[in-house]
Chains A and B, each alone.
Chain A
Amino acid sequence: MVDKTQLVVIGGGPGGYVAAFRAADLGLDVTLVDLDENPGGVCLYRGCIPSKALLHVAKLLNETKEAAAWGVDFGEPEIDLDKLRAFKNSVVAKMTGGLGQLSKARKVTYIRGRARFTGPAAVSIELHEGGTQELAFDHAIVATGSRPIMLPAFDIGSDRIMDSTGALELADIPQRMLVVGGGIIGLELGQVYAALGTQVSVVEMTDGLIPPGDRDLVRILQKRLQSQFEQIRLETKVVGVAEEGDRLKVTMVPASGGDEIVEHYDRVLLSIGRRPNSEDLGLENTKVQIDERGFLQADVQRRTAEPTIFAIGDVIGSALAHTASHEGIVASEVISGKRAAFEPNAIPSVVYTDPELAWCGLTEAEAKEQGLKVQIAKFPWGASGRATTLDRNDGVTKLVVDPETERILGVGIAGPGAGELIAEGVLAVEMAALVSDVAMSIHPHPTLSETVMEAAEAYHGLSPHINAPKRK
């Protein structure tokens, strides 16, 4: 039986379901295809949401420890891992179930299965409950996302080697764990396990953690991690992993050469990046272009070389849930006949560790790389009243400013709550705000948000709480 839909969205993650909902809101007849029971994708099932539930708990654990210094001692926490896992699972169930409801309310046809293109206007869906369904469409959006990269050296069939999905399952609290890859996902999960009592080590091939972040922000996080983690090895490569009894024997070498380092861990978390889910989609039956790394090629409207097919999110390399959602909106609007395009001036990036790191727009490193003349205005949280009340003076807020127009081109924040604070930075960059616009907007006292205003004041050497040189 052949059905017909105006729009088929393949992949129900934050790119796909937002695209589907927007298209339905714009009056299109939409079919959403995903492997899971409900929309949500990696973000809700095994990414952003469960990791944040666990990071919340981790933060709480750390704060109860710190509270001893403030005169409140909770003693050693008792951790009921099954209950913790159940809490995390209930968050996921609540959110994904909600999306299922929202999907029904919009009359989006949800099909659980795997879709493959049979041509530029039809897919064949291998249904979860068995059998196949042929579906003809006017337009399709590919939003199949990405999955963790597995390296052959680690593919030794040991269940002690996990990727982020496995780590979120919280099978146990290992005594000693190695995180391979010092990126966002590895550090977030490393902090979760460290808070639960695991001795966590990180090994990173390059010379720094979180490569895309500005070094002054990363340093603040790194300092804290050094006290929480057993060891952070930079410029070090894992060359071999082998099961040895109940443990894993990991062999590492410094990138610059030198003696082999051999360590034993209970678990290894491999978090070196993600690869696009672009195989087995039948794209060879279309004109869709795929680059050598497997990413689908799409234009500023997220249309592929096949005019009927659009692509958004991780599968084209966007790598952030909120970017994928925005792209989904653009694609659905374009399909509905609107002249939409994906052209933001500021995309926020957030590292949900403690302290959090967040930045948007132009980073200082990017400005340097592109040879742009910028001025940096910084407000250290040591001068923030609110940060002091939290006993967290280890933050910084900085603005990347075009000195000619005094326009804010980028914002970077390190410190607890940076992920929430960055939203103001996004608005400032998107609205082309000048430093004086932010400096002259009254911010509530005492809050961490004042640090954004004070950084703007500091640009002109006029922050009341720091003594910065005056700028003309």
Chain B
Amino acid sequence: MAAEFKLPDLGENIEKGEVISVLVAVGDQLAEDQPVVELETDKAVIEVPSSVSGTIVAIHVSQGDTINVGQAILEIDGGTAPAVAAPATAAAPEAQPAAVLPDATPPPQPIAAVTTRSQDVTLPELGEGVDSGDVVGIMVSIGDQVEEEQGLLEIEIDKGVVELPAPAAGKVTALHLKEGDRATVGQLIATLEVSVGGSAAVATPAAATSSAPASQATSSHATSAQTAVSAPASTMAAADLPARKLVPAAPSVRRLAREIGVDVGAVKGNGPGGRISEADVKSHSKQLHETRSAGGTGVAAIALPDFSKWGEIDAEPFSNVRRITAQRMVQSWTSIPHVTQFDQADVTDLEVFRKSHGKAVEKAGGKLTPTALILKVVAAALVKFPQFCASIDMAGEQIIYKKYRHIGIAVDTKRGLLVPVLRDVDQKTVTELSIELGEMAEKTRTGRVGIDEMQGGCFTISNLGGIGGTAFTPIINAPEVAILGVARSKTEAVHIDGQFQPRMIMPLSLSYDHRVIDGADGARFLRYICECLENPFYLAFEG
């Protein structure tokens, strides 16, 4: 019995990943827990272990593919179904709800009980002269339950960005395209599992075959199956005709709007008397799309000039990390009222301490870095100032305080900025933190950090001191409410006891969410950090 291994649930909000490498081959004897593919998800490269065992008979993915949770990765023969399978890994053959058959002998024609059938969604005609488009966004994931008319993906054609609606309600069982792909009219886009009502049974053999799963519809029925599918694809909500207002747009413009899924009544016409032109519809569509890609922040992307006019250029598509970073930064920057507080700590004594204890920590397997010490200090500050260890819930109009002190450290990797999180920092010794920090940074740089290891942070520290700079204004890692930026420490002449003394000064910047944190608290919090760094004994007294 063949069994499929599908991409299991990878954790919170992770729906897909790009295959970096395939670790097995057809014919391999696959053991349970054996890594199957290496996958780059939003934030990390992970190895996906198998939940099944057996001989691999087919591999459905290859390097470079973007695969979704629930998508089949490979097929094994003589497989053992996983004992405990994540919902997405259910590899059992299609479960047919038992057809209720009458007691009498079965009727000669198949009577369809309420059951499901798979329905292929192909790219419908997008308008005259348009035979293909680029996939610019995938709006659903495998396993999603979609409503009829719900957008499946966004396709950019020269007329604008078109949202392709689901032809029927059902479950997405496969997506055959990924972002950036070029799709042509008639091409297979997705497969849905839709319910088929019992009344659909038709007392003619020919019609009965047409209600067979579309996947079995081979050449002889291909055309009819396709028609049956593509027709509902253009279903639109019924609109009461007399109630409709006379939109000032030519029929051709209204058709364009309809075809690319724009409500022509919502378009602002720039022509005489508010007449809506084709250009108005296109720019409306573009704006909608940009609003959507800007993470729903309502901020339209800036129109780009043709840079190649001024010299040679090179364009590189976003990596997953870059895309996510861009979205989150815009979201944070546009939705959080940031205030950045600056201060500086005299770390001369701390440096003496750090250097003198460095050896001991090294012996324990770690490295005593300024960051390790800052971590400990920040954890203490979070205990003392709980509003910095919080999140704001605007919808519920409440502030959520966290009773744990998990702190993220911004790590510069070749794939971009990643933020692994150290747990319960307040309960760990500096030595323990030094060891853990070193390991975590290494794991992150080599792409081995797990998704879960980058989740659950309460506060973030970004230390750019190793590179340089006098100060910077970090952007809050939402939904956290504050972030500490550390710039390069340097020896400065400080006037102490009537004379200038050389002191090691560490510049610090604290960006905080002014919705939750008031200016005075921001200043106090940062001052407390500085005092702890200046006088580590503080920690002994306070935390």
Contacts and interface: CB of A to CB of B under 8 A. Distances in A.
Given A136-B204, A300-B238, A337-B234, A429 B125 contact: no
Contact of B236 (A136, A300, A432): A300
A139 B275 CA distance: 37
Given A134-B204, A300-B239, A431-B250, A307 B232 contact: yes
Interface in B220-267: 223-224, 227-228, 230-239, 241, 244, 246-251, 254-255, 258-259, 261
Interface in A4-33: 4, 6, 28
A407 interface: yes
Interface string A329-368: 0000011111111111100000000000000011000000
Contacts of B273: 402, 405-407, 432, 434
A137 B234 CA distance: 19
Given A301-B235, A339-B236, A430 B207 contact: no
Interface string B107-140: 0000000000000000011000000000000000
A249 B239 CA distance: 49
Q: 8 closest pairs, A vs B, by CB?
A: A299-B238, A337-B230, A405-B273, A432-B248, A136-B207, A121-B207, A339-B234, A121-B202
B202 A338 contact: no
B303 interface: no
Interface centre among B200, B244, B248, B250 (most CB of A within 10 A): B248
B250 A342 contact: no
A378 interface: no
A337 B202 contact: no
A208 interface: no
Contacts of B241: 300, 342-343
Interface string B191-205: 000000001111111
B125 A407 contact: no
Given A138-B228, A301-B234, A339 B258 contact: yes
B254 A343 contact: yes
A2 B251 contact: no
Contacts of A125: none
Contact of B204 (A2, A300, A338, A431): A2
Nearest to A346: B246
Interface residues of A, number: 47
Contact of A6 (B205, B223, B250): B223
B467 interface: no
Interface centre among A122, A339, A362, A431 (most CB of B within 10 A): A339
17 contacts: A2-B205, A4-B206, A4-B224, A122-B202, A138-B224, A299-B238, A300-B237, A301-B238, A307-B232, A336-B227, A337-B124, A339-B124, A339-B258, A339-B259, A432-B247, A432-B275, A437-B272
B332 to A, nearest CB: 38
Contacts of A118: 202-203
A121 B236 CA distance: 22
Interface in B269-302: 271-276
A345 B264 CA distance: 13
Nearest to B269: A432
Contacts of B199: 120, 287
Nearest to A409: B246
B285 to A, nearest CB: 14
B250 A432 contact: yes
B239 A407 contact: no
Interface in A296-332: 299-301, 303, 307-308
B55 interface: no
B124 A338 contact: yes
B210 interface: yes
Nearest to A29: B223
Interface of B: 124-125, 199-207, 210, 223-224, 227-228, 230-239, 241, 244, 246-251, 254-255, 258-259, 261, 271-276
Given A134-B204, A343-B254, A335 B236 contact: no
A362 B201 CA distance: 46
A432 B204 CA distance: 50
Given A434-B272, A434-B273, A2 B206 contact: yes
Contacts of A282: none
A340 B248 contact: no
Contacts of B275: 407, 432, 434
Nearest to B247: A345
A337 B241 CA distance: 22
A344 B251 contact: yes
Given A407-B248, A434-B273, A335 B254 contact: no
B246 A361 contact: yes
Contacts of B235: 301, 303, 334
B235 to A, nearest CB: 7
B274 A405 contact: yes
B202 A138 contact: no
Contacts of B204: 2, 121-122, 134, 136
B227 A6 contact: yes
A307 B227 CA distance: 13
A382 interface: no
B246 A345 contact: yes
B68 to A, nearest CB: 26
A334 B202 contact: no
Nearest to A333: B234
Interface centre among A118, A345, A402 (most CB of B within 10 A): A345
A340 B235 CA distance: 9
A334 B206 CA distance: 23
A362 B245 CA distance: 11
Contacts of A340: 234, 255, 258
Nearest to B261: A339
Nearest to B122: A337
A409 B245 CA distance: 11
B236 to A, nearest CB: 6
Contacts of A301: 234-236, 238
Interface centre among A28, A118, A299, A362 (most CB of B within 10 A): A299
A257 to B, nearest CB: 35
A334 B251 contact: no
Interface in A252-299: 287, 299
A119 interface: yes
Given A119-B201, A122-B202, A337-B231, 15 more contacts: A4-B224, A121-B202, A138-B224, A139-B227, A301-B235, A301-B236, A337-B125, A340-B234, A341-B236, A345-B246, A345-B247, A406-B273, A407-B273, A407-B274, A407-B275
B246 A121 contact: no
Contacts of B258: 339-341
A334 B274 contact: no
Given A119-B203, A337-B124, A407-B273, A362 B246 contact: yes
Interface in A93-143: 118-122, 134, 136-139
Contacts of B210: 121, 136, 138
A437 B78 CA distance: 76
Given A120-B199, A344-B251, A434-B273, A429 B227 contact: no
A121 B197 CA distance: 13
Contacts of B251: 344-345, 430-431
A339 B223 CA distance: 19
B227 A343 contact: no
B248 A337 contact: no
Contacts of B124: 337-339
A429 B202 CA distance: 46
Contacts of B224: 4, 6, 138
A344 B244 CA distance: 10
Contacts of A299: 236-239
A341 B244 CA distance: 13
A388 to B, nearest CB: 34
A87 B255 CA distance: 42
B86 to A, nearest CB: 35
Given A301-B236, A303-B235, A343 B203 contact: no
Contacts of B255: 340
Contacts of A339: 124, 234, 236, 258-259, 261
